[in-house]
Amino acid sequence: MSDTVRPATTERARREDIGDRKRALAQLFDRSAPTYERVGVEHFADLGRRLVAYAELTGGQRVLDVGCGTGAVLVPAARAVGERGEAIGVDISAGMVARAREELTRHGLHHARALVGDAETVALEDAPVGPGSFDAVLAGISLFFFPRPRTAVARYHRLLKPGGRIAVSWWGRPDPRWDRVFAASAPYGRGPSSHALPDDSPFRSIETFHAVLSTAGFTDVETTEEDCVTRFANREQWWSWVWSTAGRQFWETVPEESRAAAEAAVNAELAGLESPDGGLYSTSKVRFTLARRER
Ligand SMILES: C[S@@+](CC[C@H](N)C(=O)[O-])C[C@H]1O[C@@H](n2cnc3c(N)ncnc32)[C@H](O)[C@@H]1O
């Protein structure tokens, strides 16, 4: 848990560790940014639209999108609140924010901004993010990356206006058919898959995440679980996609001399998953959680 009292040296070491993890994540997503959602696989854009639909935004609202990435949530959110509203995206990766800004410009969404910053603390110089200043806080496939999600959620509760809503998308179980693909790669590299969570993560079950939201003061907490079907045209596209996401973290640890063997082991498993047209399908569970700050 994040908010217990600790000796000063332990607390300092913990803060340094959290700082290191955040820097590593920012660099990881900086490396993904050039190809993220650009390899011909529609994945995050679809999830982003679904999250915004759940949030039921209306014209004129003020919205904060935490971990905005390249704008999968921010762009439809900015459209939903319209020019009388405002949408602010925050992301720790400068590379992702540069891409989000391009998207906002391309779509003419001048009432939306993307800012580089730590969305866990939301200490932004360029945007007024005072208490009670947002109608909605959105977090699309991002909150479980934050080292202190409990602290973040408590902060978002304070940032919301009375009656304001938080909407979070996050992963349920990955497609079990793909377990053998990840098992085949495991001996060659280090570290977790992008679906792995720390033992104390609130995202280990719907109940634990709901408890965190309730503790932070949210009411009307509900989660809907849906399928997330992703189609890859062929193996090559799947490989490009992995390197365009946080999934590259594992592959970066595979030593150069083992890369060919690791790829061959994975390709052998992918061959068994191919449909007759050569395509690959993954059906994971995605969760959409909504909660409200009391009026
Ligand atoms: C999987 S991406 C999702 C991006 C976007 N919301 C989407 O739906 O495509 C996760 C994002 O969270 C960002 N992120 C991770 N930790 C963060 C933090 N502490 N503050 C802000 N952004 C963070 C990453 O840089 C990355 O862009």
- Residue range 74-104, pLDDT digits in tens: 999 999 999 999 999 999 999 999 999 999 9
Whole-number Å distance, alpha carbon 100 to ligand 1 midpoint, is 11
**Which ligand 1 atom lies nearest to the CA of residue 47?**
8
The mean per-residue pLDDT over the stretch 137-154 comes to 96
Nearest alpha-carbon partner for 171 in 238, 103, 246, 102:
246
Per domain, the residue ranges of the chain are 8-293
The protein residue whose alpha carbon is closest to atom 24 in ligand 1 is 67
Whole-number Å distance, alpha carbon 68 to ligand 1 midpoint, is 6
Pocket of ligand 1 (CB under 6 A): 22, 25, 29, 44, 47-48, 67-69, 72-73, 90-93, 96, 118-120, 140-142, 145-146, 246
**Which ligand 1 atom lies nearest to the CA of residue 48?**
8
What is the pLDDT, as a whole number, of residue 126? Answer: 60
The domain over range 8-293 is classified in CATH as 3.40.640.10:
no
Total residues found in the chain within this entry: 295
Which is higher by pLDDT, 289 or 295? 289
At residue 58, the 3 state secondary structure works out as coil
The protein residue whose alpha carbon is closest to atom 4 in ligand 1 is 69
The protein residue whose alpha carbon is closest to atom 26 in ligand 1 is 69
Position 127 pLDDT exceeds 70? no
Whole-number Å distance, alpha carbon 89 to ligand 1 midpoint, is 10
The mean per-residue pLDDT over the stretch 180-201 comes to 84
Tokens of 26: 């920012």
**Which ligand 1 atom lies nearest to the CA of residue 22?**
19
Beta-carbon contacts of 166 under 8 Å, excluding residues fewer than 6 positions away, are 136, 137, 138, 139, 153, 156, 157, 160, 213, 218, 289, 290, 291, 292, 293
Output the CA–CA distances (angstroms, integers) from residue 166 to 52, 154, 294, in the order listed. Answer: 11, 11, 12
Residue 124's pLDDT band (boundaries 50, 70, 90)?
low
Amino acid code (one letter) for 177: R
The mean per-residue pLDDT over the stretch 196-214 comes to 93
Position 128 pLDDT exceeds 80? no
The protein residue whose alpha carbon is closest to atom 11 in ligand 1 is 67
The protein residue whose alpha carbon is closest to atom 27 in ligand 1 is 69
Q: Please state, in angstroms and rounded to a whole number, the distance separating the CA atoms of residues 153 and 123.
A: 14
Q: Which residues of 4-23 are buried (b: 16+ CB within 10 A; e: fewer)?
A: eeeeeeeeeeeeeeeeeebe
Axis-axis angle for helices 44-55, 74-81 (nearest 10): 30
The mean per-residue pLDDT over the stretch 45-49 comes to 98
The protein residue whose alpha carbon is closest to atom 13 in ligand 1 is 67
The mean per-residue pLDDT over the stretch 146-168 comes to 96
The mean per-residue pLDDT over the stretch 149-176 comes to 96
Phi, psi of 11 (to 5 degrees): -65, -40
pLDDT, averaged across the chain: 93
Q: Which of 35, 37, 145, 170 to mutate to test the pocket of ligand 1 (most atoms within 8 A of CB)?
A: 145
